Structure formats: structure tokens, C-alpha cells
Amino acid sequence: MKIAIASGKGGTGKTTVAVNLALSIPDAQLIDCDVEEPNCNLFLNKELEHIAESIITAPNIDEELCTHCGKCSEMCRFNAIATLPEKVLLFPTLCHSCGGCILACPENAISGKEKITGIINRSSNKKDHPMLYEGVLNIGESMASPVITELKRSIEPGIPTIIDSPPGTGCPVMTTLEDTDHCILVTEPTPFGLHDLKLAVKMVKIMNIPFGVIINRSEQENCIIDEYCNQENIEVLMRIPLNKRIAELYSDGIPFVEEMPEWKERFTNLFERIVNKKELA
Amino acid sequence: MKELVVISGKGGTGKTTITASFAAMAQNAVIADCDVDAPNLHLVLRPRIVETNPFYGMDKAEICLDRCIKCYRCQTACKFNAIDDDLIVNQHKCEGCGVCEYVCNSSAINMIKSRSGDVHSSITDHGTMVHAELEIGEEASGKLVSAVKERTRSIALENKAELIITDGPPGTGCPVLATITGADLALIVTEPSLSGMHDLERVLQVTEHFDIPSIVCINKYDINEKNAGKIEEFCNERGVEVVGKLPYDPSPNMAMREETTVVEYRKNVLSEGVKALWERVVSELDQKEVTLLPTR
């Protein structure tokens, strides 16, 4: 069972939900796919070991062989290569590692050079609960998706898996959500939260992933999020109240289920409900 | 003309609230929403769209099965695993590189141009604004950010604007790099939580890597004053100036509900803090050399 926690808007509480949910499920593993800003371990303080790297193939140009014919720049649809009369310029942050330039070069002057763009870490203690896996995009690198793909390749199959997604609705989010069984969309009862929730709902519908909503910093029932969810027949799975204690614990990196055990039970129930629903379907 | 970008690393720290207030106070500025994945600025600046330009993301491969001789060279060459065993192209996985078209022996593959969003130029009560809509499932956030920036710059040149104010996306990846390219100053909005601090550190490494001068604002500093102190210490050590500390206040949500900015909504400690922050940012900008780098 793989459950992804996503949101549209940033800062709504994805990591909070992911960490607290994972802590409330025996034998769960937690996967931090927000590789641009991985934060789960700030709440868990696990000792991590480096287990893999995300490696892409970047072009390497042999200036001796290059005739500056410009075929590589013509081939590159990402504008990552510009050919000047005497020189070829590479723009590494635009390169998607498609290998087109290597194929297009008539002089065989371009070869692939492996480049590490991020690393994958895992709890070094096999008895950790939850087992934590995280990906970290190197500073200055632009492509998050290859790191997420490598991270997802490293995880243990067959056990309950909670996946913390990056914010937004772009490629890194879709790479994260691919092949998951259920998605929890976390939002907050503000116009910004509602607007971005609608975008996230469109995305999970296109991807055909069953989903429900958690309203974080909830002040009252029947807020604008409830209105929308009622209209669209979307299940509100849980409400986390706007609560000073929860906010303080968050700011100090303490998962609130550890200090407020009644919440652990609520998260365990939430997980069981999602599992039962999947079995019925 | 100068360009200010507001970024944060972590999402939800208050980028849009602050950008919208800056827009309300700035004279002769053009405003850009570069958080194309989850744009929110239009919810408080109420733009009236005057021009919409179609945005074409990457072309998508299409295989004509009538012409296809099933050699599978395309599938082998595709680095994105976007072509399945039935030779159907997965539109979400296809990044539009054109390698399949290039290797195809039977000219069975075409790269099809597809409209994947819109770039709007709009009038607001506080000047011109450029914002975008991306079709869901389109994978061209970085490219759309560049399109928004290009449009903003050409309007700013046309209007002889003195400043571009840009609301940025969270994170440190592709859309953020596209946003900060060529900016004169980055205002990083953080909050005194461990996550906020960690993400500030990462995004500062990014602005340093790309040589973008940066200043920091601690939002909701009174939620955890101990952590706010640590952020100040950290910034001090790093030689990065903390130009503002804003208190936690419910008024941004109230202003949002009224579709207005915090500085227009009500005079209180927060709105006064945002005004003081703006003055500091303006004086920082005044100290910068005038530059305008070409977009790429």
C-alpha cells in the first residue's frame, strides 16, 4: 500500500501529515520525495546512510573533433547547447540528458559524461520505525524528477509506504505520485489553499489516483474547503485544528503524535480506512 | 530597471502575501507571478486580463502506427521510458526531446506542437501584472516561468518601468532557477521553524551558487523567538542581512478573503512591519548597479 501526501500549495502541512501518519502505522516506511527541500528527517532525527546516487548523462564535447557545425544545437530542443563560430556553449541546468546531441554529432565529438545530481539516503538502523528514505537534489541542479525516480527505485516493496511529495502540480509531483495507490491532499481553509487544492484535484483525477482531503489549521466545520469538497463529492478524511501547541511542536521539529497520543489513534484509523476502501474497490 | 524576486525554499512562508503588498506600495513597477504550478497572486491583486498569449511547452512525440515498421529503435533510444511495448507514447513521460523522431527509420514519428498553457498580461489597481496558467499534467514549469519573465521584461521596457517584482515558486529546482536568472536581488522569506531554517539554508546556497544578492525576512518570528534568534545568528555569520521581522497575525487570511493586500486591508503591527520592510528593500535595490541581463 503506497499513500502519497501532496498539496498544490506549499506549507500546508504535507510533511506534518506524512511524518505523523508514518509514526502511527506499525512497520511503515516513509519516503521523502520533496528532494528540493527534504524535511522529514528534521522531525525524526534518524541516522542516515548514503545508499545511491541519481546519475544523469551530460554531454561532454571534444573541442579537437568539433567542427562547430551546429547540428547538436539544432537537435537540442531544450536550448542547452549553443554553437558559436569558434566555440560550443553548454547550459547544464537546461539539459534533460536525452542524448540527442550525442546522436546528432556527425564527428562523434560528443560523449556522455556521468554526472551526479542528487543522493539517496536511508535509515542506517534497520530497526528504525519508520524506516526513512530521502532524496536530496544537489544545489544548483534543476531536474528533481531523476532524483525522485532513483529514490523510488530504492524503496522496499510490499510494506506500508508513506510518500511525502513536493508542492505544486509539476513534473516532480507527477513523478512522485506515479504508481501510488492513494493520495492525501493536504490543504488549509484559505482562498489560496482552496485555489491550489482545485489544481491538485485536477491532477490526481488525470492520473486516476483515488484521493481524499485533510484540512489543516482548521478553525471551523463548513469552511470554504468543506463547501468545495461537498460539491465535488470529495471525502474530507481528517481535520487538524489551528492549535498553538501543534504549531509550537512543529516549529521545534517534534511530531505532534508523540506529545498528543490521541492523534496517533486517529492517524492509525485513517490508514485503516484507506486500506479497507482499497480492498473494497 | 531592476528586478526583485521573492522566494523562500519552503512553501507557505508568506511569499505571496508580501509580494502583493509590495505591488500595492511600489510606484511604476511591473508584477510577475512565477509560481506557475500554484499561482495565487491574482487572488489578491484582481487582475483584469488585457492580453493572452498561448504558451507552447515542449512538442510531444506521436507515432503513426500505419507507417511504423516496429523496429523499436525509438523505444530503445528514449531516455524517459515514454514509449511502451505497444508503441504508444505516454504523454506525461514524454519530455519532447525529439530523439525518437531522429532515430526513426520509417518517418513514422512526428513532434506535435501542443498548447500547454497561457501567459496573461493584465491590469491591476497597482500596475501591470503578468501571470500564467499551465494545463494540468504539462511538464514545462521552467519554460513557462521563462515565458512569463520574458513578457514581463518587454512590458517593463515598453512602460519604462523602474522595477519588476516577482513572486517565486518554492523549492530549489528548475522553476526556481528559471525565476532567479538575471534578478538583481532576492528577498528570501522564511519562518522560525526547523523546516523554514533548513530550507532557507538550501535556497541561500542556490542564490550564492548563481551569484544573486540575497536578503532575508523572518515572517511569523514570534511563533518561536528562539529559532528566530538562531536564524539571525546564522544570517549574520553568513554575511546575509535580515531586513525584516514580521509578527504572526491573522490579517493576511482576512485580507485574502476580501481579495486585497495586507497593507490596504487594515493598519496594524503587521502592515506597518511590511511597510518598513518595503522601505528597506527599496534602499537595498537603490544600492545595486543598474543591470538588465538578457533572458535565455
Nearest CA to A14 out of A36, A35, A40 is that of A40
Residue B118, classified by CB atoms within 10 Å of its CB into exposed (0-12), middle (13-18) or buried (19+), is: middle
Same domain, B107 and B191: no
- What is the structure's pLDDT at B41? 98
Same domain, B47 and B67: no
Same domain, B64 and B195: no
Residue B169 contacts A, CB cutoff 8 Å: yes
The chain A residue lying nearest B181, using CA atoms, is A93
Range of the structural domain that residue B251 is part of: 2-55+119-286
Q: What percent of chain A has pLDDT over 90?
A: 95
CATH of the domain at B31: 3.40.50.300
Same domain, B75 and B217: no
pTM attached to this predicted model: 0.94
Nearest CA to B260 out of B108, B121, B124, B127 is that of B124
Over residues A38-56, the mean pLDDT reads 97
Distance CA B61, CA A98 (A): 14
The label of the residue with cell 511502451 reads B84
Residue B233, classified by CB atoms within 10 Å of its CB into exposed (0-12), middle (13-18) or buried (19+), is: exposed
Q: At what angle do helices B15-25 and B269-286 cross, to 10 degrees?
A: 70
Give the containing element (helix H, strand E) for B282.
helix B269-286
φ and ψ at A3, to 5 degrees? -115, 125
- What is the structure's pLDDT at B294? 46
Task: Suggest the residue from A36, A81, A117 to mutate for an interface test with chain B (most B CBs closer than 10 A).
Answer: A36
pLDDT in tens, A74-114: 999 999 999 999 999 999 888 999 999 999 999 999 999 99
Same domain, B176 and B74: no
Residue A171 corresponds to which amino acid? Answer: C
Q: Do B79 and A10 touch (CB under 8 A)?
A: no
Same domain, B42 and B158: yes
pLDDT in tens, A221-247: 899 999 999 999 999 999 999 999 999
- Banded pLDDT at A276 (limits 50, 70, 90): very high
Q: What angle do CA B40, A175, A82 make, to 5 degrees?
A: 85
The answer to whether residue A156 scores a pLDDT higher than 90 is yes
Same domain, B76 and B156: no
Residue B291 lies in a domain: no
Residue B295 lies in a domain: no
Structural domains for chain A: 2-46+128-280 (3.40.50.300), 57-116 (3.30.70.20)
Domain boundary among B113, B136, B160: B113
- What is the structure's pLDDT at B224? 96
- What is the structure's pLDDT at B290? 54
Domain boundary among B97, B113, B129: B113
Same domain, B103 and B221: no
Distance CA B145, CA B167 (A): 11
Q: What is the mean pLDDT of chain A?
A: 96
The chain B residue lying nearest A202, using CA atoms, is B136
Q: Which residues of chain B have pLDDT under 50?
A: 292-296
Same domain, B85 and B191: no
Residues 32-61 of B with CB under 8 A from A: 37-38, 40, 43, 58-59
Same domain, B51 and B65: no
**The total number of structural domains that make up chain B:** 2
Distance CA B185, CA A149 (A): 33
A211: closest CA of chain B, how far (Å): 17
Quick check: B143 and B57 in contact, CB under 8 A?
yes
Domain boundary among B75, B92, B113: B113
Residues 77-136 of B with CB under 8 A from A: 77, 79-80, 92, 95-99, 102-103, 134, 136
Residue B187 bridge partners (DSSP): B6, B215
CATH of the domain at B103: 3.30.70.20
Distance CA B279, CA B281 (A): 5
Q: Do A168 and B170 touch (CB under 8 A)?
A: yes
Q: Do A37 and B198 touch (CB under 8 A)?
A: yes
Same domain, B76 and B190: no
Reply yes or no: is the peptide bond before residue A130 cis, omega within 30 of 0: yes
- What is the structure's pLDDT at A93? 85
Q: What is the ipTM of this complex?
A: 0.92
Same domain, B50 and B62: no
- What is the structure's pLDDT at B91? 85
- What is the structure's pLDDT at B141? 85
Over residues A38-63, the mean pLDDT reads 96
Q: Do B209 and A96 touch (CB under 8 A)?
A: no
